[in-house]
Each structure stands twice: as C-alpha cells, then as structure tokens.
Amino acid sequence: MKRREFIKKTGASGLLAGSLISAAPAVHAGTKIKWKMVTTWPKNFPGLGTGANNLARLITEMSGGRLRVKVYGAKELVPAFEVFDAVSRGTAQMGHGAAYYWKGKVPAAQFFAAVPFGMNAQEMNAWLYYGGGEKLWQDLYQSFNIIPTAAGNTGVQMGGWFNKEINSVTDLKGLKMRIPGLGAEVLKRAGGTPVSLPGGEIYTSLQSGAIDATEWVGPYNDLAFGLYKAAKYYYYPGWHEPGSVLEALINKKAYAELPSDLQSIVMNACKIVNADMLAEYTARNNTALHTLVSKHKVQLRPFPDDVLKKLAQLSEVVVKEVAAKDKHAQKIYQSFYNFREQAMAWGKISEQAFLRAREL
C-alpha cells in the first residue's frame, strides 16, 4: 500500500511537471512578433547593408522565430536620412545607420559615430561599454523614444577619393566633397564645400563632376561602389573617421513590450554584429586594397603632414563648438576626451609600441 501511495503521489507531481514543461514552449511558440528595420544603406550593400541583414537574422534565429525582423534598405520604406524619424515615430521598430546623419536634429549624436582625430574602434567600444559612453548615448536619445546601441564598426576609414592631388591646405579651398558629420564642418573651415549625400548617390555625383571628391568607407566598400572609375587619387588616413560606429536604433515602446529574454537577445545580437563587422572589414579591406592598387592601378597617397596638422587644429575648434551647445553635449564631450586621453596613454605603450616593434 505504501508503494501504491508513493506511485500515486509521484505520478501526480510528474504529470503536473510534464504539463508545465509542455506549456512553456506553447506560450513561446504562440508569441510571434514582427519588426521592421529601416537602414541608411543600399539594400544588401556589402558590409553595411549585410551587417544590418546579419543583425536581423541573428535576432530571428536566436529568438527561435518569436521575433522576426525584416530589413528595408534606403528608399524601400523611407529615405536614408529619415531612418531616425521613422524609428522615433514607430513606423519601424528598428533602424541601422550612423549617428552623424542626425546632426541637424541632435548635434551631440556625432560623438557616437566618428570624431575627427578621436578614438579608433577598439577605444570607442571600450568607452561605450565600460566608460559610460552608452549611457550618455541613451540619455541623449531618450526624448526621441529611441534606444541606441553599437551595431557595427568599420575601423579606421580612408581619407577619400580625389580628382586632384592634395599637396597643401590650399588645395582644399573650394573643394566640393561628400563628407558627413564633424568632418564636414572641419572641411568647411579649411575652405572646402561639404556635400551631404547618401551612399547610393555618391558614384554618379563623383562621375558627373557634381562633387570633386568623396569619402565613403574603405577599400572593401569603395571597390564595391567602383569609385576607382570616377576618381584618380586615393588618400589616407581617414582623419575624420578613425573608428566609425554604426548604430542600431530601437523604438523604446516596442522594446518595452518585449519579454525580458527577447530584450536580451536584441541587445546581445547587436554586440555580436558590432564585433563581427569590425573583423569582416579588417579582413576584406586587406584584399580589396591589393585589388585596387595592383589591378586597377589606383594612386595611393598619404595626406601631407601639414594638411593633417591643420585639420587637427580645426577639428579641436569644431568639436568644442558642438560641445558648447548644451549641458548634455558638454557632458558627452568631457567623457569622450577624458577617456581618449587615458586610451592614448595606454596605446602608446601597447598598440603603438607593438606596431613600431613589428616594423623593425
């Protein structure tokens, strides 16, 4: 009888446990959420567009299909430069772009994309994740109903494509160049004319002569765009974008409606893509640069030192002006440059020292 009583009790509890286990997947399976992701990039464009695709794929796969994200390239749902507003309004639940595209709306956002002579990719990630940068970024976008986070990095970019040689600062005067963000204002102070263009319009504008020069990203993307067909000289380094952060924009209300595990999946998928994109660019830039120089006979040129020094001086003035616009911008500026000073001190005896040693 004791045996029968034991079986009766354990059997009941076993049935209860079994019902709970079978019920959990049913709840998850029934939760099908569909999100739209709008991007500033041409559809499926290598590196940038495919980075957005990878983010959507990861979220969908990691959630077991409970959260499905569909990607829309520039102009498919909204124009490239309207991504921020689309996510803010809730037209799309996510966006993928670069924070300097919103400088007309949020000037301080530029600190979270690329600062001329600022920090490289490794340093930017350190500041965002462990130096308080991401919290400042989220506070900046809070009133727009957007949660931002890093979702890609191109690493140090190239200085750009030019149809004439840059031998001195005077060669920048009157130069019509496609260049975004803080770098655009620096060029303007140097006498040039910055032009704002989405990626899909760069090649035709350079080819037609509507612009004299352009920066885009680096060998990997520039080769894909065929920019070598429209300009003769390829300059380095990318003083204006030393470690360009790509951002995921997440509608705050849509995010709040997700269960905690899906929220974690979204944020961790962004971190995965952030690391993966930098690795991809590092690998593919190597091959693409070799192709541009050896096959297409691109003339690779360094910016003269006096040009870089002048641009650095102007950059300091421009960045301080942006920081002076409001208290939040000033707070971001102080955090950014305090962290940069620490990173530079460590970098001199780590990365820079190693690179010098490797060249001996």
Give yes or no for residue 9 having a pLDDT over 70: no
Confirm whether 33-155+243-282 and 160-242+302-359 share one CATH topology.
yes
Question: Does the pLDDT at position 8 exceed 50?
Answer: no
CB 275 within 8 A of CB 55: no
Cis peptide bond upstream of 107, omega within 30 = no
Q: Any idea which residue has 């499905």 for tokens?
A: 68
* Mean pLDDT estimate for the chain: 92
Distances (CA, A) of 303 to 51, 56, 181, 240, 309: 30, 38, 20, 12, 10
Residue 60: pLDDT above 90?
yes
Report the pLDDT averaged over residues 333-360: 97
Contacts with 180 (C-beta within 8 Å, 6 or more apart), sequence order: 98, 100, 101, 103, 196
For the range 299-305, what are the long-range contacts, defined as Cβ-Cβ under 8 Å and sequence gap of 24 or more? 299/232, 299/233, 299/234, 300/234, 300/236, 301/165, 301/166, 301/233, 301/234, 301/235, 301/236, 302/235, 302/236, 302/237, 303/159, 303/166, 303/235, 303/236, 303/237, 303/239, 304/166, 304/167, 304/168
CATH number of 33-155+243-282: 3.40.190.170
Is the predicted pLDDT of residue 324 greater than 70, yes or no? yes
How many CA within 13 A on the CB side of residue 78? 23
Share of the chain above pLDDT 70, in %: 92
Identify the pLDDT of residue 21. Answer: 30
pLDDT of residue 30: 61
Domain 160-242+302-359 has CATH 3.90.226.10: no
Show me where the domains of the chain are located: 33-155+243-282, 160-242+302-359
Q: Which tens digit of pLDDT belongs to each residue from 234-269? A: 999 999 999 999 999 999 999 999 999 999 999 999
pLDDT above 80 (res 24): no
Give yes or no for residue 12 having a pLDDT over 60: no
